[in-house]
Amino acid sequence: MTDDTIKRASFGFDADFGDLSTVKPTGTPKAKVKPASKPKVTKPKAVTKTPRQPKPKPAVRKAQDDLADKLAQSHGFTSREAIAAAPILMKKRRRIQHAEPVDQLSIRGPVRVLNGFIDYCDANKLSYWEGMERLVTEAGY
């Protein structure tokens, strides 16, 4: 094939940009790339990190946060931030192997209620499923 038989693609700008053979590139020529040299091997320095201190909030931001907290409390919302007072901890659970088929039940609830159930099972020397079985049986189910 010769150049005369190849058709160029037309994008509708032929009248404006039909012949760009007279246009010369502008700008600076690219610098020559040097071959890569061997990387220097340096020993890592011992880094001692100090604990990061939180930045103090600006007075305006602190005032906005305090106002938001008061507004949230007035509408009945409670803070999710860690309470510095006595935290309520979940008691450790016991694990028991079963001889019959087993299923799993996950329950979310107030820690005081779940701890009360755990105390009930510990006081009666029952596993959790045995404690639940006893309570369900007493309820008549």
Task: Give the pLDDT confidence score for residue 54 in this predicted structure.
Answer: 75
Which segments in the chain show pLDDT lower than 70? 1-20, 29, 31, 33, 35-36, 44, 46-47, 82-87, 96
3-state helix, strand, coil in the chain (%, to 5): 30, 0, 70
Residues 98 and 127 sit within 8 Å (Cβ to Cβ) = no
Q: Quick one: pLDDT at residue 53?
A: 78
Read off the amino acid at residue 53: Q
**pLDDT at position 117:** 95
* pLDDT given for residue 82 in this prediction: 60
pLDDT of residue 109: 94
Q: How many other CB atoms sit within 10 Å of the CB of residue 121?
A: 20
Nearest to 104 by CA among 138, 137, 134, 132: 132
Model confidence over 93-123: pLDDT tens digits? 777 677 888 888 999 999 999 999 999 999 9
pTM: 0.32
Q: What are the structural domain ranges in the chain?
A: 109-141
Q: Do residues 130 and 121 touch, judged by C-beta distance below 8 A?
A: yes
Give pLDDT, residue 10: 64
